[in-house]
Amino acid sequence: MVNKILSQLVSVEILTPKMDDTLWFFKEILGLYEVGKKGRSVYLRGWEDWYTYSLKVTESDTAGVKEIVWRTYSEQDLHDAVNIINSYGLGLGWDEGEPDMGVGRGYKFLLPSGQIGKVVWEMKTWRASGMLRSGYKARPMKKPTKGVQAKDLSHIFLFAYNDDSLAKSVELLKKLTFKVNEILKEGDHKIAYWMAVNGTAHDLAIGLDPSGVPGRLNHVTFNVDYADDLLRAADFYTDYGIEIVGGPLRHGITDSHSLYVKEPGGNVIELLHGGYINTVPDWEPVTWDTKEDENRWLFYWGHVKEAFWHGSPLPPNKISDELKEIIRQKLGAKI
C-alpha cells in the first residue's frame, strides 16, 4: 500500500523589485490571467491551472522565491505532514489561508535548503464564468488570446546552499512522499535531484547553489500546450528585449523541451513542453554523471548561458531580512 501525503504543487510566490515590468511579462508575454490583488501582491493563473491561482507576484526590494504551497490528499495527511516537518524542527506555524482565493489554513515550514514552504488541505477548484468559460468542459477557462498561452504551473527548481542542506532537503521531501526520478552527480558526489508527487517527471528539482547562500531560487516553470509555443515565446522574448538564458533545447533529464528567460524583475522563468509520466511504483532513479554524460543531462541539444546558473536574488545574499532571521534561527546559517 502506498500512502501519498502530498497531491501536487499548487502555487509559488515570487518577489520582484520591478512590479509593473514583471506583471507585463507574465500577463502580456506569457498570457497569464489576473484573478486578484491584495496589498503589494497580484495573483495570476494559467488557463489550465485547477485552483484559483498558481503564481503570486509580490513587490519587494529584491527578487527570489517567498513561498511554495503544496496540497495534501486529506485533512489527516495535512496533520501527518505537519508531524513529519516538526520532527525536523522546521515548523513555522499555522496561518488562516486566503479564503477569498479558495485557500484554507495551512502550515508553514522551512526547507533545510532555506526556502519557505506551506502544506494545505482545504482548496477550492476554480472555474471561469461568462465569456471566459470554455466549451471544453474539463478546462477551467478559455485559452487567452494574447501571449504564448502558458498552460499551468509545472515545477520549481530550488537551490541548496551546501551538501548537507541538499541531503536533508531530499530526505524530508521523500518522507513527504516525493519520488526521486532522476539524479545528477559529479563522480560520487550527488549534486541535484528531480522528483515528483504528481506522477510527472518532476514537479520539484533541487540542486547545489554555486553561491552557497540559503533560500535561493533557480527557476519557476510553466507548461505550454504545443512545442511550437516555445518558438513563439523565443520570438516574443527577442522582439521585446527579454534576456533568453537557455534554449530552445531538449533536456536529457526529464526528456522535455524547454526555454529559459530572465523576467524583468530578475527571476528565471522556464517554459516547458513534454516530459514523461512516471507511475512506476518500484522505480529506481536514473543517474546522470557530468563526467560521463557531460552537459547532455541539461541540454541533449541546444544550449544555456552562464546567466542560467545565477538564480535569484542577485546579489545572492540579497534575500529578505525576515527570511535571513528565520534561516539563522532554524538552520543556524548566517548570511
Q: 151: Cβ–Cβ under 8 A, 6 or more apart, which residues? A: 46, 47, 48, 222, 223, 224, 225
pTM of the prediction?
Answer: 0.96
Q: Are strands 256-262 and 204-208 parallel, antiparallel or unpaired?
A: unpaired
The C-alpha cell at 239 is: 522582439
In tens digits, the chain (335 residues) has pLDDT values of 458 999 999 999 999 999 999 999 999 999 999 999 999 999 999 999 999 999 999 999 999 999 999 999 999 999 999 999 999 999 999 999 999 999 999 999 999 999 999 999 999 999 999 999 999 999 999 999 999 999 999 999 999 999 999 999 999 999 999 999 999 999 999 999 999 999 999 999 999 999 999 999 999 999 999 999 999 999 999 999 999 999 999 999 999 999 999 999 999 999 999 999 999 999 999 999 999 999 999 999 999 999 888 999 999 999 999 999 999 999 999 88
Question: Phi/psi class of residue 56: alpha, beta or left (left: φ > 0; alpha: ψ in -120 to 50)?
Answer: beta
Q: Which of 306, 157, 307, 270 is nearest to 218 (CA)?
A: 157
